[in-house]
A and B are shown apart, each in its own frame.
Chain A
Amino acid sequence: MPGTEPQPSFLGRISIRRNQVSAMDVNHDPELEELELFQKHVADRFTDLLSPQEEVASTETLLSISWLRKLVDVFLCCEAEFKAVLIMGRDPSQICKPPLDRLIPELLDRAVKALDICNAVSSGIDSVRQYQKFAEIAVSALEQKPMDDGQVKRARKALNSLLTAMKVDDKEKDFKGAERTWSFGRRGNTNPFHKERAARYFRSLSMIIAKNWSASKQIQAMSSNLVPPRGGEPTGLALPVYVMSSVMVFVMWALVAALPCQERSGLATHFPIPRQLTWAHSMIGLQERIGEEWKKKEKKGSVGLLEEMQRMEKLALNLIEFADGFQFPGETEKMEEVAAQVAELAEIFRKMGEGLVPLQAQIREVFHRIVRSRTEVLEVLDHAAKISQPTT
């Protein structure tokens, strides 16, 4: 009978309305302190994500590659700490008792969904690396001096392909009609290869998960049963499970929003977090900012909010406009302006070159970390089941 079982002393003392940090002064329960510390660290990390310290603020713009790398790092740190709270030094039988007997399987279910998201996002990074190659062509063509019609046309073509690839919207569409209109022999400065056809290729290459798989549905499923432990009810480990789940859902959501990913309609809605939790403030702040960005972009059918991609898109549009109006040898003033844009594009291209591969490696690490923790939790569950067996 779960209700009659004596709760470990510290469990009863944690209340969800624990926004008064001063309460900590009166108790010296190491486990409770550990829990407080975990929440505090989560809060600190998310505050840093929301408003980075001044010296790095310029390089860590929201949703930029370096920001995402930091985000993934935050996940890894929180995860490590969470595991320590959950597993180390615990009586394993605890995690078989209500409410954990329900919360832990839910957490593991989220973990599995997160693994699929990691794979999808990692493939999204592959797509971004393709965009990067188009940008590389455009940059090297436009860096030619003097800039001539041929090179401008070449750059235009690459930028066009870049935009086409980036405009791939997540939804599967019937492209049969498009196929028929594609004909051989069209050329000139119009996009020679039918746009939609190319887009279809891009999309099909980025589909590495099952056809009907949807990133936004998975995110929704991950958060649908995510509810904060109610005040008054013995919380114990329920709270850290909730914290970690929120971190996981948030990080996966942000990654899916930032990078090209399979099927993301309805991503703008985010899960509610009770404001009184110490870390909630910054996470909600981030949710709102990213959510707004997403709403802006959703209509345009963009591939993702990655800051570098957004800038790249804007530059590509500008440069295409420039290319369309270009007449050799070009006006000096205009040329200077373009040179600055090309330099910016080159800078983005360089950043992508530096950051994408490490980001992908980090996401792989997230994958493996989740796998490992999941295995460990399963082992604890197994172990706990064995302990409790003889008594039943």
Chain B
Amino acid sequence: MDHNPPEKSTSLSRNVNGFAGHEHPPAEEANEASPVPELSLLQVLEDVDGFLETLSKPNDNPPEVPGCVELLLKMVEKKMANYDSNKFGHNPEEDSSFFECLTRISRFTNLFSEFTSNPIIDAPLNRSSTVLHLSVSLLDIEFRTILESCIRNPNQNNSDSRTPKASKQPSFGSHRQDSDRGEPETTQDEDFLAYSQESISNMNKIATAMISLGYERECCMAYNMMRRNAFNNELDKLGFSNTSIEDVQKMNWETLEGEIAAWIDFLRYCYSVLFAGEQKLCNFVFSEYPSVSQRLFSDLALAVTARFLIFAEAVALTKRSAEKLFKFLDMYETLRDVTPPTDNTHSSELKYETCAAKSLLGEAAISIFCDLENSIRKDHGKTPVPSGAVHPLTRYTMNYLKYACEYKNTLEQVFHKHRKTEEGDAGGKPNQSDAEIIEGANEDGTPKTSPFSVQLNRIIDLLDDNLEMKSKLYRDPALRYVFLMNNGRYILQKIKGSTEINDTMGAKWCRKRSTDLRQYHKGYTRETWSRLLQCLNHEGLQVNGKVVKPVLKERFKMFNSMFDEIHKTQSTWVVSDEQLQSELRVSVSAVVIPAYRSFLGRFQQYLSSGRQTEKYIKYQAEDIENLIGELFDGNPNSMRRRR
């Protein structure tokens, strides 16, 4: 007995069989069907095919409708009745035979309708169209039922290993680890999205049939609605929920930070795993109609992404504050890096909407970053930092910049793309936004300017000005220089320690900075040690070639007390940078010790040994060296401890 489809099978049934092909249950069930109607069905189909051939020839008057047409319609009605008890997909042979019948019915229905209002044709047209519609309605229900099966029976296939861990811990700048983490693996192969292989193949058959029978709209609407629901359910299960902009406004930062971290995970997971599965499903189900598949998938991606974008926009609208910058940039990067699931004409709206959300985040990030200017300007405390140490403002600003520069490329991009909207307020150098985003520096060591580098320079310049102002709070000019050195050094070290800032500021700037620092150093030496060295000046000690002892004694006394005073004061001063500290000590030693040694060598002899020597020569050169080694320790007790 021949169970194969007839030779004249249409493309529809070929497709269906071709797809279903190898994986169908054995033919035993088909054998159960009584052979007689099966045989006659073949006969009927052959007759109908013959009739279709006649019908499709150009003809003014319709040919008479043969009995095989009605026979076929009756058979289809019987098949439909059978589906009441036997699910679709239960007997694949039967299903394909059903499709074959429908294809023919559809064909003659269409051909009939070309003979408008011809009484001979009217009745058969009405009859066939009705049967066709009822059949497709049946398919429609089947389609929805299968589509829904995954919603109703959430499958275990969605193992936890594939779901993202929504880390709701606030983490300042922890994004680097985040991006290192591998994408969740897509191990699932064919049994994705909780549909069995059989379900998918059935959906494919039905979708192919519905579209070829002229029910594309119905089919697409059902698919779109059910899959969007399933997708939303999936996101709900993961814990992603909608929020209103107002709610986000009211959230405290800690909570919101957690929400943002979760949002990033969800969005990445959604794009890397869920969309991939969804697209695959869509492509399978609509394998015969790639453009339909593309459109359906794009619609779904847009609808789903819209939910994510609302949150992104809501976050961008929250009150701006410095600590938010990094999370905003994390979100910006996430939106930038999730690749659009499809790149075709249908995805343009998705891209547009994503860009809109990105620009809100970008503008917010710029405004936060630029607000650093204000926090520097506003910092005009009148109390100097004790010991000339690094000012908290310097620390804060530089650490902030260092963090920010970990996002340098993103910030460059953000400034480049979204800066113009800030122009009015920024007031600085407009039209820098035309500059290209570039890396590295010009040959002469000046960095290539970009809107971001301009901003960075402005902030550092402001910081410099502010520190200059703060340095004036110190009465002691030497301490003033130490303060400037400390802070200048801190800034320089931070900049050198970060490739990103270093590149932005450029070698030339760093050289200039080092020169400034040397100037401070010189200034300090001058202020502190020049006066001391006056004591060791040989001039004025000799009158007519003879050393005047009282003057000499006075000089030694002066030197001792001055040095003690300096030591007492300056060992409480702080130079926290070890290198700077040792540089300072070395340079002080280099200035003081040779002078002292030579003074000592030259004039020691004029003091009578014993009591006098002890009284006036309090220190040997080595002692001086040791004491210099105690300077800038920030330790007020060193002198006492030594005693």
Contacts and interface: CB of A to CB of B under 8 A. Distances in A.
Contacts of A204: 229, 232
A210 B313 CA distance: 15
Contacts of B122: 146, 148, 328-329
Interface stretch (B23-31, B38-46, B134-142, B474-482): B134-142
B462 interface: no
A210 B247 contact: yes
| Chain A at the B interface: SS class | helix
Contacts of B306: 123, 208
B125 interface: yes
Interface of B: 83-84, 87, 109, 113, 116-117, 122-123, 125-134, 137-138, 140-141, 144-145, 217-218, 221, 225-226, 228-229, 232, 241-247, 249, 303, 306-307, 310, 313, 317, 356, 360, 363, 367, 374, 378, 425
A113 B246 contact: yes
A201 B229 contact: yes
Given A146-B125, A205-B228, A328-B126, 7 more contacts: A115-B317, A123-B306, A146-B116, A149-B133, A150-B109, A150-B134, A209-B310
Given A201-B226, A210-B247, A146 B117 contact: yes
A95 B310 CA distance: 30
Closest 4 A-B residue pairs measured CB to CB? Answer: A150-B129, A150-B133, A149-B130, A148-B126
Contacts of B133: 149-151, 153-154
A303 to B, nearest CB: 16
A210 B113 CA distance: 50
Contacts of A201: 225-226, 229
B117 A150 contact: no
A207 B241 CA distance: 11
Nearest to B320: A378
A149 B226 contact: no
B222 to A, nearest CB: 8
A130 interface: yes
A362 B555 CA distance: 87
| Chain B at the A interface: SS class | helix
Given A150-B109, A154-B133, A187-B141, A119 B310 contact: yes
A368 interface: yes
Contact of A151 (B83, B129, B144, B425): B129
A192 B117 contact: no
A150 B425 contact: no
B125 A148 contact: yes
Given A150-B130, A150-B132, A193-B141, A112 B246 contact: yes
Contact of A144 (B87, B113, B228): B113
Contacts, number: 125
Contacts of A116: 244-246
B420 to A, nearest CB: 13
Given A150-B109, A211-B241, A192 B140 contact: yes
Given A119-B310, A154-B133, A371-B360, A145 B144 contact: no
Contacts of B317: 112, 115, 371, 374
Interface residues of A, number: 51
A325 interface: no
Nearest to A207: B242
Interface string A188-215: 1000110000100110110111110100
Nearest to A145: B116
Interface of A: 112-113, 115-116, 119, 123, 126, 130, 133-134, 136-137, 144-146, 148-151, 153-154, 157-158, 184-188, 192-193, 198, 201-202, 204-205, 207-211, 213, 218, 328-329, 364, 368, 371, 374-375, 379, 386
B301 to A, nearest CB: 14
A363 B494 CA distance: 47
Nearest to A197: B148
A187 B310 contact: no
B221 A149 contact: no
Contacts of A126: 303
B245 A192 contact: no
Q: Report which residue of B126, B138, B144, B378 has the largest number of chain A beta carbons within 10 angstroms of its beta carbon.
A: B126
Given A130-B221, A187-B141, A210-B247, A148 B129 contact: yes
A185 B360 contact: no
Nearest to A390: B380
A126 B131 CA distance: 34
Contacts of A144: 113
